[in-house]
Structure 1
């Protein structure tokens, strides 16, 4: 019985980690779905969200209820500046050129964080209760439970918005055919801006939750690489794929780290990436595109 209880606790922790992966993957999906740009700086934008919260809560002494939305808004503003000042001028350039720009953006964000806050790891001011939480007899960290609940609500909201909101329909139309969207009167550059703003704000929110669990440091952007695995496995343009892939990878990483050892986690994670690309390169829920040569 104790072995089963331990397995359940490990699995619940994995689901919590998977929910954060899904939230970070959502930032990838939102931007790619509208602009066809793979933003490899999502991990660094996630890191920036954690540091912005630290600045508002610890530096300015603001309460968490004010610091959290300000940090999320700050992430969105960074997304707006990046889209308008860097990405939009590159429209029409090759995909690899835009991809490499996002790689450089990630390095710039790391450098800025180290210049402002140094490279030392920091602990965020506590804003989530540490009171034990039990599901039956299984213990769950309250921080992980809160992260899971927030991620579930946010992803659920996005699924509804993409289905029923006019802006969501415009984004889907733009993702399908930009020329046709233009002909229907859709403001395609405006859709691009919204996608970057919302995607970067989502990454910043995920960074706050991740920082609350494990602290913040300039290296926490590595978490974005696991989120990239999620979107490739689930589908680069699928919100449902981000959810399913994130939860699945969170469980697999938790089981691997517990029963095989932490040194095997990256091996298994990126092994899954290679197998997924070989078997289903468009992902489990991604759009399968057929191009005439």
Structure 2
């Protein structure tokens, strides 16, 4: 394989991985957009969802379809409990206090997973075919390509839903001005709870996809650390921006790891983000917000 063909192949694999990053990042952005809460527990919620799937599909032998259903329902229940019991009482508190709460929730989830399922890696049922996808001479691993297709369809569908549905309009109204939204009859608390449901669903599906592409481990939630660069690059308040940013970060990680070595793979996206923030603090697609004091 010549250098140009290798570049194209690594680029395609990276963009495919970036689709899953975008799916995870979407859950973070919709919560932040509605409530100004940055959910640092998103990775652990994603990881817990994958364990729900494993328990339903393997331990109780319910099969893949029912396993996914159980995982989504369980993820939504956990997300609503977190929102109602931990974060709703924190509304109006300083931003850093809410961030620390989400950090604490993530630690609690990791501890619970370790106590129930243990530290060993687990293999979940294969829901993605291993047959590679060929784009001409470009080789893309089958699981990565199919995970990308699922992630992009879900992200695109959710973006369209949030753009054109009444629920999406209510979310944008609450994000723009919660007091005005209240005065117009919008139940802002319900809107915020709805964004946590979206985050639970996207986190659940991305967790199952990630565990299928790699393996199920208590460290699976660390993938969300890579997603921070996607969220910042796309813009904290841009739902559509996370898709483009996911492709960029996934491509950058893959190509950098190929050209410079794996030790540069993790840091290069953050170097890009830091350089971008110097010239555009809102990210590529974020918008400036003016607050009256």
Please indicate the TM-score interval, normalised by the length of the shorter structure.
Answer: over 0.9
User: What is residue 237 of structure 2 aligned with on the other side?
Assistant: 237
3-state SS, counterpart of residue 119 of structure 2? coil
How far did 1:291 drift? 3.6
How far did 1:78 drift? 0.8
User: What is residue 177 of structure 1 aligned with on the other side?
Assistant: 177
3-state SS, counterpart of residue 239 of structure 1? coil
Measure, in 1, the Cα distance between the counterparts of 2:34 and 2:256. 35
Q: Given that residues 128 and 147 in structure 2 are in contact (C-alpha distance below 8 angstroms), is that contact kept between their aligned partners in structure 1?
A: no
Which deviates the most, 47-56 or 104-113? 47-56
Q: Given that residues 28 and 228 in structure 1 are in contact (C-alpha distance below 8 angstroms), is that contact kept between their aligned partners in structure 2?
A: no
User: What is residue 100 of structure 1 aligned with on the other side?
Assistant: 100
How do 1:104-143 and structure 2 match up within 5 A?
A: 104-143=104-143
Which deviates the most, 152-161 or 241-250? 152-161
Which deviates the most, 133-142 or 109-118? 133-142
How do 1:213-252 and structure 2 match up within 5 A?
A: 213-252=213-252
Question: In 2 relative to 1, CA 186–292 (structure 1 residues): closer, same or farther, beyond 3 Å?
Answer: closer
Which deviates the most, 123-132 or 159-168? 123-132
Measure, in 2, the Cα distance between the counterparts of 1:91 and 1:122. 38
How far did 1:292 drift? 4.8
Structure 2 unpaired stretches of 5+:
none
User: What is residue 91 of structure 2 aligned with on the other side?
Assistant: 91
Question: In 2 relative to 1, CA 154–39 (structure 1 residues): closer, same or farther, beyond 3 Å?
Answer: same
**TM value normalised by structure 1:** 0.96
Q: Given that residues 234 and 284 in structure 1 are in contact (C-alpha distance below 8 angstroms), is that contact kept between their aligned partners in structure 2?
A: yes
User: What is residue 168 of structure 1 aligned with on the other side?
Assistant: 168
Measure, in 2, the Cα distance between the counterparts of 1:93 and 1:292. 18
How far did 1:69 drift? 2.5
Measure, in 1, the Cα distance between the counterparts of 2:22 and 2:165. 22
3-state SS, counterpart of residue 58 of structure 2? helix
How far did 1:221 drift? 1.2
How do 1:42-121 and structure 2 match up within 5 A?
A: 42-121=42-121
How far did 1:88 drift? 0.6
Measure, in 2, the Cα distance between the counterparts of 1:98 and 1:121. 32
User: What is residue 37 of structure 1 aligned with on the other side?
Assistant: 37
Which deviates the most, 187-196 or 280-289? 280-289
How far did 1:216 drift? 1.5
3-state SS, counterpart of residue 284 of structure 1? coil
Measure, in 2, the Cα distance between the counterparts of 1:7 and 1:101. 42
Measure, in 2, the Cα distance between the counterparts of 1:181 and 1:292. 17
3-state SS, counterpart of residue 218 of structure 2? coil
How far did 1:102 drift? 0.2
Measure, in 2, the Cα distance between the counterparts of 1:181 and 1:291. 16
How far did 1:185 drift? 0.4
Measure, in 1, the Cα distance between the counterparts of 2:244 and 2:200. 21
Q: Given that residues 155 and 239 in structure 1 are in contact (C-alpha distance below 8 angstroms), is that contact kept between their aligned partners in structure 2?
A: no
**TM value normalised by structure 2:** 0.96
Q: Given that residues 20 and 206 in structure 2 are in contact (C-alpha distance below 8 angstroms), is that contact kept between their aligned partners in structure 1?
A: yes
How far did 1:233 drift? 0.9
Measure, in 2, the Cα distance between the counterparts of 1:171 and 1:106. 25
